[in-house]
Amino acid sequence: MTADLGYGMTLVALGLAVYGSIAAGAGARTGRLALVESAQHAAVGVFVLVTTCFALLTYAFLTFDFSVRYVATNTNLGTPFYYRITGVWGALEGSIILWSWMLALYTIILIVRHREGARELYPWALATMLGILAFFLLVMTVAAPPFQRQVPVPADGRGLNPLLEDTGMITHPVALYLGFTGFTVPFAFAMAALITGRIGDTWLALTRRWTIVAWYFLSLGLLIGGWWSYHVLGWGGYWAWDPVENAAFMPWLTGTAFLHSVMIQERRRMLRLWNISLVILTFGLTLFGTFLTRSGVIASVHAFTQGSIGVLFLSFLGLVLLSALGLVAWRWEAIRSEGELDSVVSRESAFLLNNVLLVAAAFTVFFGTVFPLLSEAVRGVKVSVGAPFFNQVNIPLFLSLVFLMGVGPLIAWRRASLDNLTRNFLWPVALGIVAAAAAFALGVRSVLAALTFATTVFVAVTIAVDFTRATRSRLRLGESLLPAMGRLLLRHNRRYGGFVVHLGILIIALGVMGSHAWSVQTETTLHRGEAAELAGYRVRFDGLTAVEESNHLKVVGAFTVSNGKPLGVLRPAKKFYPQEQAPIAYVDYRLGLREDLYLVLGDFARDGSQATIKLQVNRLVSWIWIGGLVLTLGAALAILPERHKSA
Amino acid sequence: MSRPVAVLVVALSVLALAVRPAAAQSGKPVSEDVVHEVAAQLRCVVCQNLSVADSPSEMAGQMRAIIRERLAAGESPAEVQRYFVERYGEWILLSPPRRGFNLLVWLLPLVAVVVGLAVTVALVWRWTHRRRGVRTAPVAVDPAMSERIRRELESGR
Amino acid sequence: MKRLWRWLIPVAVLPVLALLAYGFKVSPRDIPSPLVGRPAPAFALATLDGSPLSLEGHRGKVVVVNFWASWCYPACYEEAPVLERNWRGYRARGVVVVGVDIQDKREAAEKFVADFGLTFPVAQDLKGTVSVDYGVYGVPETFFVDRKGQIRVKHVGAVTDDVFRATVDRLLAEPSAP
């Protein structure tokens, strides 16, 4: 019954979305407000229906309703309560429902926020949103229906993929999807701008906050994904350049480029064509990401499934790109703005360079991801493009970008005089060089590490210079320190929010450098009582215990750790799930500011007499998560509504 | 055979045995770092996109053991790599070898950056030189006024 | 003419879409083996009942080397009866089926053999050296070795009667090494 009800609601929602999209478009074309309002009602209807579907599916999960095939494949009687909730979006069909629900939610917010303010653009934006929503509902009905019946109804389900039984499961997909779907709204407004010919700055101003929110959630999703990878997947790393990771990273790169180039358009009314193209590219990349995850075209850790769904997504991706870019070509004359720059040495140039590097990085990631396919198509030979390639090619790009982070905010608009340059950059450059020398003196021999160190110090000092100078002027006006700083942050929250975000990126960059340059690892087999040593740590194997859990068998190893003083016991485990072919390794670790001790249990003897372990000391990884937190604060600050600027 | 000759033969045989290179036993101790380096370049065949060094799977562990054995037997890292490539094809290398068609993936990103920079430079050139004709005469500004403006800008920005 | 250049932008998308569509035709897990046409690597293992098992010992026969595991469901379970059936049928004609079990516990292997009543020699590749030697990246995989000791066919996935018979008949029809 649930299955049929859910399926019916999906169909009705699909019909409403299609109708709404057409009505909004027709209303925009003919100017008949009644049509647009009707479309709004349809949108509300879709939202209500999709929410109900979602609730229905969750209910089916909670009550072990195995008559629904999706429930039977993704849960079993032993699945704990909270994973029955988060398991709703744990596999393909549920992920589509989650995506559709978020799109519907964003459509409602768009209606509420913009129906008054943007008379010309709003109906077309609404039509676009509903059209995209209709596509995802189509996928839900035709290719990945969550409400298929399972006949005969089994006594017990298959169970959730054990890797998904983790707190990251609650947050990572949600954050990531909020980011992905968030970019739909700027795209919808860009389309509206192209269709109506109003390609000025209105559409940009309307979407500014949407872009930051979407960008923020995407960043958050990526960081949580890294954290999840680090502490669950048991391989000791946080980013593998897996195709699906890349698919989420590419829109982040172009989205970041967009965030910056928008500022040039705001100030100088230039780069309109570029900005519209960037938004289209970013949205296209989010679709590409969903295509990649669900089509099985490129092998990946995340790959959900193969089948007709891949064809659907590819067709839609093609439709979107061809129509959007076709519109751009059509409106070419109107969009192209004649640019004017006063000097090569200016903030505009820095932003342009920032864009070039970010888009080049996105291109690199894209080409590297599809190259195996290209190689096979052209040569018939399969090759792999993995982490070593991406690291080698991208690191110079990213390092240059970090450097630009220091230059951009401080260099003057229009024309940076020599005076401006020396005042702003003398200290940062000097201290950067000092930092590199200090690193060298302290024994750092990796050129990359020294460069990263120097660049990070350079950028940090630029931020400090700006902040102290601004605070000092406020102090001169008679304010006391803390209120001065606070008022500074709030009055100019966009600028300082950006600074804090940059600071977060800096900290992440340091963490990445530390983990790449200075991490060590070893693998060894230990008999009971034997110990392994690495980087000053001593890890002694004490024995194994086997524990029966509700839906799996867990073998836990006990390892006493010390580094001069006792540090406790680590318990890495191997979980054996009946429905999984191979056991899942669960790491145990000791996190620290400077380094993490990371222990993976490998092969072991049945009687517990010996065990093979992989021991890692990862340096500075915690800084990545700390940087993420700082980034969050910065984004939050930047999104605050602007106060009126006074002297 | 006379006694002294027999002794000589035995002595020579013992000597010959002693100086023969001990190929039978794995003499060279192998540093885990080298194993890790070699393993990091190879793709774990049962995982998706992880290296043999990183993967916690059983097969990866066995592959690392094979790498260790071969290095201990005196093979160079390149030879160990070649062993795997001969059995799995180019696919097993995590980074495509810089030869032939594969050069495309290594060079195209560089080309993209160069082209991007070139286009940017061209555009910036055009945009900065457009203004040539319409540049207005600079207004003479009183230095005190200039200083005050600057301070206010600092406090406001 | 200048007006037409702008349309290059949407058109540029088409080759990318075509490439991705090509991806539907190929499977990312289908890796062609460079060992086909080369001599089959030698191995020296012991069967589950203790007798030695090597490629050398079957020189001159057509050898079907099958890599499997008890946890490889459903493919290995589908092909086990096929292999047993054809082993019994071709045994007298100079064909031998060899099973190599990888990444399994001994009891699981023995149970599998008992359950399917396998009578062809089965050995465990405990250290994984044989599977790596043969470039095995998943189970089941089957290598058809001709009388001269060359690998002629690598079959990925469960072996069917048709595949087995067609390949083995072809290899039997060839003359053996002088």
Nearest CA in chain C to A323: C10
Domains and CATH numbers, chain B: 30-94 (1.10.8.640)
pLDDT tier at B155 (50, 70, 90 boundaries)?
low
pLDDT tier at A628 (50, 70, 90 boundaries)?
very high
Q: Per-residue b/e over A476-511, b at no fewer than 16 CB within 10 Å?
A: eeebeeeebbeebbebbbbbbbbbbbbbbbbbbbbb
* B127, A341 contact by CB (below 8 A): yes
Partners of residue C132 in chain B, C-beta under 8 Å: 62-63, 66, 84, 87
Residues A504 and A586 in one domain: no
Residue A7 in domain: yes
CB contact under 8 Å between B88 and C127, yes or no, is no
Q: What is the DSSP letter of C136?
A: -
Tokens of A475: 């102090």
Distance CA A217, CA A252 (A): 10
CB contact under 8 Å between B89 and C103, yes or no, is no
Ranked by mean pLDDT, the top range of A55-69, A409-423, A507-521 is A507-521
Q: Higher confidence at residue A623 or residue A84?
A: A623
Residue A335 in domain: no
pLDDT tier at A233 (50, 70, 90 boundaries)?
confident
Q: Higher confidence at residue C63 or residue A639?
A: C63
> Where do we find the tokens 């929503």?
A133
Domain spans of chain C? 34-173
Percent of chain C whose predicted confidence (pLDDT) is above 70: 97
- What pLDDT score does A180 carry? 94
- What pLDDT score does A643 carry? 59
Query: What's the CATH code of the domain at A49?
Result: 1.20.120
Nearest CA in chain C to A281: C13
Q: Per-residue b/e over A556-589, b at no fewer than 16 CB within 10 Å?
A: bbbbebeeeeebeebbbbbbbbeeeebbbbbbbb
pLDDT tens digits for A173-215? 899 999 999 999 999 999 999 999 888 788 888 888 899 999 9
- What pLDDT score does A91 carry? 80
N-term to C-term CA, chain B: 106
Partners of residue C137 in chain B, C-beta under 8 Å: 45-46, 88
pLDDT of B3 above 70: no
**Contact with chain B for residue C133, Cβ under 8 A:** yes
* C35, C68 contact by CB (below 8 A): no
- What pLDDT score does B40 carry? 92
pLDDT of B135 above 60: no
Distance CA A492, CA A620 (A): 32
* C118, C124 contact by CB (below 8 A): no
- What pLDDT score does A190 carry? 93
Tokens of C1: 């003419």
Q: Which amino acid is at B105?
A: V
Give the closest-approach CA distance of C123 to chain B in angstroms: 17
CA neighbours closer than 13 Å in the CB half-sphere of residue C106: 8
pLDDT of B7 above 70: no
Q: Higher confidence at residue C173 or residue A579?
A: C173
Q: Higher confidence at residue B26 or residue B115?
A: B115
Domain count along chain A: 4
**In A, residues 264-283, which contact C (CB 8 Å cutoff)?**
277
**In C, residues 8-47, which contact A (CB 8 Å cutoff)?**
9-10, 13-14, 16-17, 19-24, 26, 28-29, 31-32
Of A234, A101, A71, A280, residue with least CA distance to A177: A101
Distance CA C54, CA C35 (A): 18
pLDDT of A145 above 70: yes
**Contact with chain C for residue A581, Cβ under 8 A:** yes
* C24, A376 contact by CB (below 8 A): no
Residues paired with A511 in a beta bridge: none
**Contact with chain B for residue A296, Cβ under 8 A:** no
Residues A378 and A505 in one domain: no
Residue A405 in domain: no
Most B CBs within 10 Å: which of C29, C43, C132, C141, as the mutation test of the B interface?
C132
Q: What is the mean pLDDT of chain C?
A: 88
- What pLDDT score does A182 carry? 94
**Contact with chain B for residue C166, Cβ under 8 A:** no
Mean pLDDT of all residues in A614-626: 92
Dihedral sign for Cα A7, A9, A13, A19, please. Answer: positive
Partners of residue B155 in chain A, C-beta under 8 Å: 470, 473-474, 476-477, 647
Q: What is the mean pLDDT of chain B?
A: 78
Partners of residue C16 in chain A, C-beta under 8 Å: 370
Tokens of B65: 């053991």
SS3 A331: coil
Distance CA C74, CA A306 (A): 18
pLDDT tens digits for A498-548? 999 999 999 999 999 999 888 898 889 999 888 999 888 999 999 898 888
* A617, A519 contact by CB (below 8 A): yes
> Where do we find the tokens 């026969």?
C61
pLDDT tens digits for A557-594? 999 999 888 888 999 988 887 766 677 788 899 888 88
Point out the least confidently predicted range of A321-330, A372-381, A543-552, B70-79. Answer: A543-552
pLDDT tier at A116 (50, 70, 90 boundaries)?
confident
Q: What is the DSSP letter of A535?
A: T
Dihedral sign for Cα A559, A561, A566, A569, please. Answer: negative
Give the closest-approach CA distance of A303 to chain C in angstroms: 11
Residues paired with A541 in a beta bridge: A559
CB contact under 8 Å between C31 and A376, yes or no, is no
Dihedral sign for Cα A356, A360, A361, A366, please. Answer: positive
- What pLDDT score does A25 carry? 92
Q: Which amino acid is at A586?
A: Y
- What pLDDT score does C63 carry? 92
**In B, residues 69-108, which contact C (CB 8 Å cutoff)?**
84-89, 91
Q: Higher confidence at residue C104 or residue A364?
A: A364
> Rounded to the nearest 10 degrees, what angle do helices A184-196 and A168-182 cross at?
10
CB contact under 8 Å between C133 and B87, yes or no, is yes
- What pLDDT score does B8 carry? 53
- What pLDDT score does B10 carry? 53
Residues A527 and A489 in one domain: no
- What pLDDT score does A201 carry? 81
Interface predicted TM-score (ipTM) of this complex, two decimals: 0.86
Tokens of A394: 């991208």
CB nearest to B59's CB, from C31, C33, C128: C128
* C166, C88 contact by CB (below 8 A): no
Give the closest-approach CA distance of C126 to chain A in angstroms: 12
User: What's the distance, CA A589 to chain centroid?
Assistant: 25
**Contact with chain C for residue A326, Cβ under 8 A:** yes
Taking residue A629's Cβ as centre, other Cβ atoms within 10 Å add up to 12
pLDDT of A292 above 80: yes
- Give every CB contact of residue C36 below 8 A, 6+ residues apart in sequence: C151, C152, C153, C154
Helix or strand run (H / E) with residue C144: strand C141-145
How do C122-125 and C95-102 pair as beta strands? parallel
pLDDT of C9 above 70: yes
- What pLDDT score does B18 carry? 43
pLDDT of C105 above 90: no
Distance CA B66, CA C125 (A): 13
pLDDT tier at A303 (50, 70, 90 boundaries)?
very low
Burial of C68 (0-12, 13-18, 19+ CB in 10 A): buried
Mean pLDDT of all residues in A33-43: 92
Dihedral sign for Cα B120, B121, B124, B129, please. Answer: negative
CB nearest to A377's CB, from C22, C31, C72: C22
- What pLDDT score does B46 carry? 84
Tokens of A370: 């599809």
pLDDT tens digits for B26-46? 456 778 889 999 999 999 988
Distance CA B46, CA B28 (A): 30
Most C CBs within 10 Å: which of B68, B88, B90, B104, as the mutation test of the C interface?
B88
> Where do we find the tokens 């705001």?
A266
How do A573-576 and A566-570 pair as beta strands? unpaired
Residues A422 and A434 in one domain: yes
pLDDT of C81 above 60: yes
User: What's the distance, CA A93 to chain centroid?
Assistant: 21
- What pLDDT score does B25 carry? 41
**Contact with chain B for residue A487, Cβ under 8 A:** no
Residues A481 and A388 in one domain: no
Tokens of A150: 């399972």
Residues A84 and A159 in one domain: yes
Distance CA A382, CA A375 (A): 6
pLDDT tier at A474 (50, 70, 90 boundaries)?
confident
Distance CA A543, CA A524 (A): 15
Strand ordering across the sheet containing A588-590: A520-527, A610-619, A595-604, A588-590
CATH 3.40.30.10 fits C34-173, yes or no: yes
Residues A277 and A353 in one domain: yes
Q: Which domain holds residue A583?
A: 520-620
Taking residue A643's Cβ as centre, other Cβ atoms within 10 Å add up to 11
**Contact with chain A for residue C4, Cβ under 8 A:** no
Mean pLDDT of all residues in A72-100: 83
Taking residue A117's Cβ as centre, other Cβ atoms within 10 Å add up to 11
Q: Higher confidence at residue A513 or residue A151?
A: A513
Q: Where are the beta strands (DSSP E) in A157-233?
A: none
Percent of chain A whose predicted confidence (pLDDT) is above 90: 41
Dihedral sign for Cα C141, C146, C147, C149, please. Answer: negative
Helix locations, A519-619, DSSP H: none
Residues A48 and A112 in one domain: yes
Mean pLDDT of all residues in A217-225: 93
CB contact under 8 Å between B65 and C127, yes or no, is yes
Residues A489 and A423 in one domain: yes
- Cα A541 to Cα A260, A544, A557, A570, C148: the distances in Å are 52, 9, 8, 10, 50
- What pLDDT score does A585 carry? 81
